[in-house]
Structure 1
Amino acid sequence: MKRNPLKKLVAGLLAAALLALPTLAAEPQLPSLWAVDQLADSYALGLVDDNYTTYIQDPVTLEQLEAMTDVVANKLALLELDQRTADAVGYVVDTTRGGVMNALYQAAAAYVLPGIDEGPQGFLTGLGVVKGDGTSLALERTCTYQEAMVMANRLILAVYDSLDAGSRGLLWKATNGENTLYLLGTIHLDRDNVYPLHKSVREAITTSETVIFELDLNDQEGIALLQSLQTYSDGTTLADHISPELYQRVQAASEALGMGPNGLDAYKPWALASTFSTLSMMDDTTGANSMAIDSYVNALAVNSGKDIAAVETYAFQGGIFDGLSPEYQELYLDSTLSVYEMALGGETSPEIEQAAQEQEEMLAAMFAAWKARDPEAFGAVYDKEAVLNSDDELNSKLFTERDPGMIQAAADYLETEGSHTFFMAVGAGHMVDPGGIVSGLRALGYTVELMP
């Protein structure tokens, strides 16, 4: 594991919109309106972090510029482009706008790209990365962090879009009369270098009037309710509900993660199990901000001014987990913690090692299918039929009690009076068969096609 983000994930199984600004300073630095639509991708790519309201309007530093340039270079390297000999004439890199352009250009100049021989100004203006103020590029002016961030983000997206690259996602288009409903099956993780997403996904979000999720990630009351469901309110603690041996293992994990002694005592087994499961599925391909795909879609939608809706409530979804039997919750925590302990380098067993290896192979195959927009390959790896037919207490609740409601919600949007475009993003397991939304809508007579 390359990071220990438990503090972020425990509150953040429940993340809010990117523009729900944290209280980081008496007067936070807000992004300019022209930069807001770049925030979701900038955050997903690691060009800004959670503290961006403390520095986004400040002059960029050379250290910050180097970090941004590294992000650009790493994302371009993933494209496996033909390489070229960089220009023999060096370009001055400093914290002026011209210096920032030179730095970003040199990250791209290692590769054969259309227009790369035109130099920094010609290449970057040709891609629309730098647009100036209508009269000049203001090359000598000191560059703000925000300007450098936008240039870096635009450069990555422009190169990926020009090559028809990026993660395509499991994206379908359902139609009924003049209504369109885009359906994105998501994976609630960030790994396998999933960002940036393909322009077809981004455009489907930004051209929709309403974006629908399993839960409204901006519903502060709902988030507070789920938080309350995750913790004990009856005077007991975790130690009162699980075996002493398992409790000591949780204590050790808490210490290793910097949570301190008894740092996790308030949380119920199911909440910790879910969190340890998420942590165990992250790896060195996870982005710096660990931005799950659903959170990215939400941030882009919010920042684009879209209406946000949800097909479920926090009370309903939280109740599924909180209603699990005590015995199941303890087993759930034991199994997920075992895999996470192995990721931390702790003692393990052949059975745990095999389970972890199988999980890793499944996740890699799932993300490969997701990024290629291949639902058949995804379904073969995920094997929803086996999930539904298992005797696992949680599986039936996650699907048999939820898929019908999601199908009906999607149909309701398609039956909206007038001409509308909607976007629905829910877990990919709810999209695929048996019992998935795609086939469910087709059975109701709607046209549903996989996006090209």
Structure 2
Amino acid sequence: MRILWSRTLIERGLLAVALALWAGLAPAAEAPAQQPACPPKAAMPAPAQLQQLAARAQDRGLLWRVRHDGHTSWLYGTMHVSRLDWFMPGPEVVKALRGADKLALELDVLDPQVLAELEAGLKARDGAPALSAALAARLDKQLRLACAEADVARLRPEAQVLSLLAQAGRRQGLDPSYGVDLILAGAARAMGKPVIGLETPQLQLKDLVSDDPKEVAEAVDDGLKQLESGKAGPMMVMLADMWSEGRQEKLESYAQWCGCVNTPRERAQLKRMLDGRNPGMADGIASLLKQGDSVFAAVGALHMVGPGGLPALLRKKGYQVERVKFPVQTPPKSESKPVETP
């Protein structure tokens, strides 16, 4: 789901906000009018709001320091959805990014070719078998409840569901448009640092979509059950709060409490999405480190935890990896109360 909103982000101009912010500019913005029944849409912060966000920025997530051949690099576990209040990175994260020679992400979300390949792979296929009438009706209902934009309906069915799941926290203030990876990419570009993709669009598409009608129907049904249960949004909030607080041990046990790994198929998919991809990303990071540069590698936080996470894999390769502990947070009064965690 991490890639479904890339084009929308650019169209809304949030990348331009990040770039202008780090370049010292002040872009003007105006929030669009909203229908009360619809989740709020992400809006670019106005200049005064950006100053407020910068003044109270706190370090969030999980950061590791990696030492190699006299150099220092970093691993940073991110969230692909976030809050406007979390728009600005904290001081330790900013310091680490400024000290790195390059930024490594799962994908270079600013590369037009990457976005074009993702768009081509996610759009509905001509002549593809249609969903059953019952499944299509359930999907259409969720699209209407989410007030999904027209471009979502033009995706493959399973991609539509993934997009809805990624947006499930919008009513609670979480939006893919504020994704941490996106802000880091814009900041790195504004600093003149290259952005490196650790994976290819083809690799991610292979795990997200299928040409097998049976697999498509199963994936759509699984996702719709999460949405219909009403738990997808609160679970997104829970995950985001755990990330914000740097609760590594809770993230490691994600599969035990998320309610999203209930069938053999779902368990196999999670294993493929994490354990199946982590070795390749670890090899990519190690390759960059061997070039002698300092790297800030930022990928989804669930790729960072457990014995198969990137810190553990880099330790096995001989690198010295240590967690950077952030100061205890003092949540601003404007933030919502954290969801009770297990």
Q: Distance in 2 between matches of 1:336 and 1:222?
A: 26
Give the structure 2 partner of residue 105 of structure 1.
none
Cα deviation for residue 10 of structure 1 reads 5.5
Give the structure 2 partner of residue 224 of structure 1.
116
Match of 2:314, as an amino acid?
A: L
Cα deviation for residue 376 of structure 1 reads 2.1
Pair 255,381 (structure 1): closer, same or farther in 2 beyond 3 Å: closer
Q: Deviations over 1:384-432 (max 9, x none)?
A: 9x96995424223212321111111122222223xx3211111111111
Give the structure 1 partner of residue 69 of structure 2.
177
Q: Is residue 160 of structure 2 the alignment partner of residue 272 of structure 1?
A: yes
Q: Compare CA radii of gyration and give the structure with the larger one.
A: 1
CA contact (8 A) 1:324 1:394 kept: no
Cα deviation for residue 14 of structure 1 reads 7.0
Q: Is residue 135 of structure 2 the alignment partner of residue 246 of structure 1?
A: yes
Match of 2:127, as an amino acid?
A: T
CA contact (8 A) 1:13 1:275 kept: no
Give the structure 2 partner of residue 109 of structure 1.
none
Q: Distance in 2 between matches of 1:196 and 1:376?
A: 25
Q: How does 1:81-160 map to 2 (within 5 A)?
A: 149-150=46-47, 152-158=49-55, 160=56
CA contact (8 A) 1:168 1:200 kept: no
Q: Distance in 2 between matches of 1:364 and 1:11?
A: 18
* SS of structure 2 residue aligned to 1:223: helix
Q: Deviations over 1:127-163 (max 9, x none)?
A: xxxxxxxxxxxxxxxxxxxxx95454334423x2xxx
Q: Is residue 289 of structure 2 the alignment partner of residue 414 of structure 1?
A: yes
Match of 1:247, as an amino acid?
A: A
Q: Is residue 309 of structure 2 the alignment partner of residue 436 of structure 1?
A: yes
* SS of structure 1 residue aligned to 2:86: coil
* SS of structure 2 residue aligned to 1:290: helix
Residue number among 281, 287, 298 corresponding to 2:185 in the alignment: 298
Match of 2:131, as an amino acid?
A: I
Q: Which runs of 4+ in 1 moved over 6 A?
A: 386-389
Give the structure 1 partner of residue 170 of structure 2.
282
Q: Distance in 2 between matches of 1:371 and 1:264?
A: 28
Give the structure 2 partner of residue 37 of structure 1.
23
Q: Distance in 1 between matches of 2:320 and 2:256?
A: 25
Pair 382,194 (structure 1): closer, same or farther in 2 beyond 3 Å: farther
What is the number of equivalent residue pairs in this alignment? 306
Cα deviation for residue 336 of structure 1 reads 2.5
Q: Is residue 94 of structure 2 the alignment partner of residue 202 of structure 1?
A: yes
Q: Deviations over 1:241-285 (max 9, x none)?
A: 31111212333444552657xx76642122112101112233332
Give the structure 1 partner of residue 39 of structure 2.
none
Q: Distance in 2 between matches of 1:250 and 1:308?
A: 36
Q: Deviations over 1:158-213 (max 9, x none)?
A: 3x2xxxx6142111111112222211111211249434432111222222220010
Residue number among 304, 309, 320 corresponding to 2:196 in the alignment: 309
CA contact (8 A) 1:365 1:381 kept: no
Q: Distance in 2 between matches of 1:20 and 1:282?
A: 19
Cα deviation for residue 11 of structure 1 reads 5.4
Residue number among 324, 327, 339 corresponding to 2:214 in the alignment: 327
Q: Distance in 1 between matches of 2:79 and 2:20?
A: 30
Q: Distance in 2 between matches of 1:305 and 1:371?
A: 27
Match of 2:140, as an amino acid?
A: Q
Give the structure 1 partner of residue 127 of structure 2.
236
* SS of structure 2 residue aligned to 1:411: helix
Pair 50,212 (structure 1): closer, same or farther in 2 beyond 3 Å: farther
Give the structure 1 partner of residue 332 of structure 2.
none
CA contact (8 A) 1:216 1:310 kept: yes
Q: Is residue 334 of structure 2 the alignment partner of residue 450 of structure 1?
A: no
Give the structure 1 partner of residue 245 of structure 2.
372
Structure with more contact order per residue of length (Cα contacts < 8 Å, sep ≥ 6): 2
CA contact (8 A) 1:388 1:395 kept: no
The CA RMSD measured in Å over matched residues stands at 3.6
Q: Distance in 2 between matches of 1:431 and 1:14?
A: 27
Q: Which runs of 5+ in 1 are unaligned?
A: 1-8, 22-30, 52-147, 343-351
Once the two structures are aligned, what percentage of the paired residues are identical?
22
CA contact (8 A) 2:124 2:157 kept: no
Pair 407,389 (structure 1): closer, same or farther in 2 beyond 3 Å: farther
Please give the TM-score of this superposition, normalised by the length of structure 2.
0.75
Q: Distance in 2 between matches of 1:327 and 1:187?
A: 31
Pair 286,36 (structure 1): closer, same or farther in 2 beyond 3 Å: same
Give the structure 2 partner of residue 394 of structure 1.
269
* SS of structure 1 residue aligned to 2:207: helix
Pair 434,329 (structure 1): closer, same or farther in 2 beyond 3 Å: farther
Pair 339,401 (structure 1): closer, same or farther in 2 beyond 3 Å: closer
Indicate the larger mover: 245-254 or 177-186.
245-254
Give the structure 1 partner of residue 329 of structure 2.
none
Q: Distance in 1 between matches of 2:219 and 2:173?
A: 26
Give the structure 2 partner of residue 5 of structure 1.
none
Pair 156,231 (structure 1): closer, same or farther in 2 beyond 3 Å: closer
CA contact (8 A) 2:107 2:200 kept: yes
Residue number among 275, 291, 299 corresponding to 1:426 in the alignment: 299
Pair 50,205 (structure 1): closer, same or farther in 2 beyond 3 Å: farther
Give the structure 2 partner of residue 136 of structure 1.
none
Match of 1:166, as an amino acid?
A: Q
* SS of structure 2 residue aligned to 1:275: helix
